[in-house]
Amino acid sequence: MKRILIVDDEVSVRESLRFILKDQYKILLAETAREALTLFEREGPHLILLDIILPEMDGIAVLKRIRELDTTIPIIMLTATRTVKTAVEAMKLGATDYLSKPFDIEELKLVIEKAITTKDLEQEVKFLRSEITRRYSFKSIIGKSRKMQEVYAKIEQIADTRTSVLITGESGTGKELVARALHFNSSRKEKPFITINCAALPESLIESELFGHERGAFTDAQARKMGQFELADNGTLLMDEVADLSHATQAKLLRVLQEKEFTRVGGTRMIRVDVRVITATNKNLHEALKLGNFREDLYYRINVVPIHLPPLRDRKEDLPLLINHFLTKKAEEEGHPPKEIAPEAVGLMMNYDWPGNVRELQNIIEQVVTLCSNSVIHSEDLPDFFRKQIKSTTLKEQALSGKISFEHAVTEFERDIIIEALKKTRYIQTHAADLLGISRRILKYKMDLFGIIPPEDK
């Protein structure tokens, strides 16, 4: 129950307020400024109703003293009609609101509820902002490899600057996470962080999405709309897949980056903005420049500081850390202790090339944790397609490195295909042979050769 401290030297006022509010709040009563300050420090109320006229020390002096100790607690001044001017002065000194005696009960309750709700929302916003800052700290990007250490150092060095950054890397390497880390570790962290996927919007809408439009600018423009640049004012705009912009849009983007102003589609008024633009792409912009698909002047404008994120296959030493990170994260989301992963399962995952990079790893961990009923994840708990690709890759690598013979690799590969065909046809050998395009006699010969025994014969 929320605590309200009522400070008034008139016993009738204190008791009236206590009677009105006692069913909703825990009430603390003080007759003097000294009692009020003692109760404030001892009880930590959520709101104070403070009379302006008090013996010894007036309400304005009490307000100043409390504001020295706590700048956020709601303080509502209680005033007679003749001291309204003083109440207005109290508002300038940090009071939340004021009420004139005699009180309207409904107004009193509404003002108190509004003040407490606003304080709760402010605390929640403050907590969420601190959580976001913590979550998107550059330290939250997992990796101990040399390549990732270089990424961390660059993020820390340039986060709190106005410099344009181009983030490159394959899909799933964490480009947006790096962009968020740059934003939330800068002085812009209290301002908007806006993202736009340039590849996801048709050419006819991209200009309106970036710069907004005026009512009637085109057929479906029923009302004025602010663009992403306006929404990101004083903050950061991440333009993902920037390589997919058309030449016309590239030219308009270049002008905005140079002049820091633009007009909405269908508008005439220049709009100035202060936006830090971060761009990202999974394409090779050097190749796009050679082919004439990307403007050279725009490239040099956005590529002031480049950050390249290596694919997961090039930093396999980070894999165990990432696995444990996602196991812990999933456990926190589900509210249960994190599962462990057996060394042989980690070993299999180390032999996989991860074409989907960190995003693919996270998806597989979530899938395995959801489907595995044991506290320890073993290799057999990994997805079938995943283990087959690992085995195929491992066989190829072992054969090419000379660890196993070519004949052995071919035998293992052939054995796996036959087992898979038998499983798909429920070990009906005639159907399995048809699926493989061989005779049943050859299939039976191969099964005997490889030691493949149908379940019913085991």
User: Which residues are 5's β-sheet partners?
Assistant: 28, 48
Q: What is the pLDDT of residue 81?
A: 61
Q: What is the pLDDT of residue 141?
A: 77
Q: What is the pLDDT of residue 57?
A: 87
Q: What is the pLDDT of residue 40?
A: 93
What is the C-alpha R_g of the chain?
33
Quick one: pLDDT band at residue 216, thresholds 50, 70, 90?
confident
Which tens digit of pLDDT belongs to each residue from 364-394?
999 999 998 889 998 888 887 766 666 666 6
CB atoms within 10 A of CB 324: 16
Coil vs helix vs strand at 447: helix
User: Which residues are 194's β-sheet partners?
Assistant: 237
Q: What is the pLDDT of residue 17?
A: 93
| Total residue length of the chain | 458
Coil vs helix vs strand at 170: coil
Q: What is the pLDDT of residue 134?
A: 56
Q: Is the pLDDT of residue 130 over 70?
A: no
Tokens standing for residue 281: 């792409």
What percent of the chain is modeled with pLDDT above 90?
Answer: 53
Q: Is the pLDDT of residue 309 over 70?
A: yes
DSSP 226-295: E-HHHHTTTSEEEEETGGGS-HHHHHHHHHHHHHSEE--BT--S-EE---EEEEEESS-HHHHHHHT-S-
Q: What is the pLDDT of residue 284?
A: 93
Q: Tell me the backbone φ, ψ of residue 400, rounded to 5 degrees.
A: -70, -25
- Residue position matching structure tokens 């996470």: 177
Contact 278, 164 (CB under 8 A): yes
Quick one: pLDDT band at residue 246, thresholds 50, 70, 90?
very high
Q: What is the pLDDT of residue 220?
A: 75
Q: Is the pLDDT of residue 126 over 90?
A: no
202-218 as b/e: b if 16+ CB within 10 A = eeeebbbbbbbbbeebe
Burial of 134 (0-12, 13-18, 19+ CB in 10 A): exposed
> How many Cα atoms occupy the beta-carbon half-sphere of 294 within 13 Å?
21
Residue 2 DSSP code: -
Coil vs helix vs strand at 109: helix
Q: Is the pLDDT of residue 182 over 90?
A: yes
d(CA 407, CA 413): 10
d(CA 148, CA 353): 18
**47, 49, 54, 55 alpha-carbon torsion, rounded to 10°:** -50
| Phi/psi-derived region of residue 422, left when phi > 0, alpha when psi is between -120 and 50, beta in every other case | alpha
Lowest mean pLDDT among 100-104, 189-193, 239-243: 100-104
Q: What is the pLDDT of residue 14?
A: 92
d(CA 42, CA 36): 10
Q: Is the pLDDT of residue 409 over 80?
A: no
**248, 252, 257, 261 alpha-carbon torsion, rounded to 10°:** -170
Q: Which residue, among 229, 226, 138, has the nearest Cα to 186 in the 3D structure?
A: 138
Which tens digit of pLDDT belongs to each residue from 24-66?
999 999 999 999 999 999 999 999 999 988 888 888 999 999 9
Quick one: pLDDT band at residue 405, thresholds 50, 70, 90?
confident
Which tens digit of pLDDT belongs to each residue from 251-306?
999 999 999 999 888 888 899 999 999 999 999 999 999 999 999 999 999 999 99
Domains along the chain with CATH numbers: 3-130 (3.40.50.2300), 142-310 (3.40.50.300), 314-383 (1.10.8.60), 405-458 (1.10.10.60)
Q: Is the pLDDT of residue 395 over 70?
A: no
d(CA 89, CA 121): 26
What percent of the chain is modeled with pLDDT above 70?
Answer: 92
pTM value is 0.63
Lowest mean pLDDT among 86-90, 189-193, 305-309, 368-372: 86-90
d(CA 288, CA 276): 24
Q: What is the pLDDT of residue 79?
A: 84
Residue 138 DSSP code: G
Write out 354-392 in H/E/C secondary structure: CCCHHHHHHHHHHHHHHHCCCCEECHHHCCHHHHHHHHH
Q: What is the pLDDT of residue 458?
A: 56
Q: Is the pLDDT of residue 413 over 90?
A: no
